[in-house]
Every structure is written in C-alpha cells, then in structure tokens.
Amino acid sequence: MSYDTVVFDMDGVIVEPTDRSVIRESITGTFEEFGVPSPPSVLVERFLDQEVPAETLRERHGIDPAEFWTRREHNASRAQVDVARRGKKTPYDDISVLERVPAALGLVSNNQRTTVEFLVDHFDLDVFETAHGREPTLTGAARKKPNPHYIERALAELQAERALYVGDSNVDVEAAHRADVDSAFVRRPHRADYDLERQPTYEVSTLAELTEMLEYS
C-alpha cells in the first residue's frame, strides 16, 4: 500500500511513554499551588487520564477550571522535560528506519505542545516536517484524540492525499478512523496485553516491521 503521508503518535511510538507517576506528581503539585495539599486520589486520577472535571474543581474547591488546566499542562510539560533531560524518556532505537520512508512525515500527540516541541528539538527529530501537541487550554483539551482536529491540521499542512496514522492506543485508531485515514497500531512491550476496541488497518511490533510491510525498507 502506498502512502504519500505518514503521521505518528509520539509517546509509545517514537519516544518511550512517560511514567504515569511523573504526571501524577505534577498534578498533585498543581493542586498544592491552588491551596489543596491533599487532593482526592480519584480526582487526581481523572486528571491523569486527561479529563477536566470542571464542576468538581469549581464547586468543591473553588478553583477556576481554565486556570487550573493551564497550570496542570505547564507542570506536566516541565516534569516531562526534566525526565527527558535526565535520560529517563528516550526515543526508540527503530525510529532510524523513518529516514528511508519516501513520504511526508508528521507527529500528532495528545501530549502538550511545549512537550512535543522540546522532544523534537532535544532528540533532533528533524525527519518530521510538522509536529502538533495540544494547546494548554480547555479548548486544547477538547481537541485531544480521538478528536481528529490535530491530525487533520497536520494532513492539511503536509498536503496529504493518501495518509496513514500510526499510534499505540485505542484513541489513536479511533482518531484515524474519524479523520478518514488508515491506521497502524504498534504493539510495543508496554502494550503487550492491550485490548483493541477497533481493528486497525495494520498491527505491527516495531516501526521496522511497519516500513517493511509498506515496502519502504
């Protein structure tokens, strides 16, 4: 199958996913900044899953949801930049095969825009012609995958005619479906027992396997 454009998710596909404890600590720290030193663990987990429980913030804690979310995004990004600088979040070895792919390449992540921009620069991921992460606002949160907003923006920028989106989660497969493009699921070790809710166009274990399947090797 020939594609003129291939867009990738970042965490779990191009670079290792961030340990959830890192994000959890940044969320707890955000609550502390807003005067809530011991936030309910259930509420922290909702934010960890990228939910925005606006009513709970406003009514139970007297916190403006928009202000909290922006701070949450800033703190989560800063924490991930720190772990990347300390070598605790690194690219996968097989991304080198992407240099041989004769198609326009892009990145679209549910991670923060500042995190994506830092990682692209820090790891010299210049093989990607465009890269998108979510904006640190409630609007940005609403546009996260499976909403196809950022995928469609990347496809437009790359002038895609036949595109493939590569990810490692159900939201990636669903986002590709909503964007009306084919999907590839990469079953990295951290997804060994992961159940897919929708059948992707392809399922592979590595990017090398993907490029070989697409005859890009």
Secondary structure class of 130 (helix, strand, coil): strand
Confidence of residue 1 (pLDDT cuts 50, 70, 90): low
Structure tokens at 214: 């697409």
Residue with tokens 């499976």: 146
Q: What is the mean pLDDT of residues 103-122?
A: 98
Pairing of strands 182-186, 202-204: parallel
Instruction: Report DSSP letters for 36-93, one per residue.
Output: -SS--HHHHHHHHTT---HHHHHHHH---HHHHHHHHHHHHHHHHHHHHHTTSS-B-G
CA angle 69, 70, 73 (to 5 degrees): 85
Q: What rounded mean pLDDT belongs to the chain? A: 96
pLDDT tens digits, 18-47? 999 999 999 999 999 999 999 999 999 999
Phi, psi of 127 (to 5 degrees): -70, -20
pLDDT at 217 over 80: no
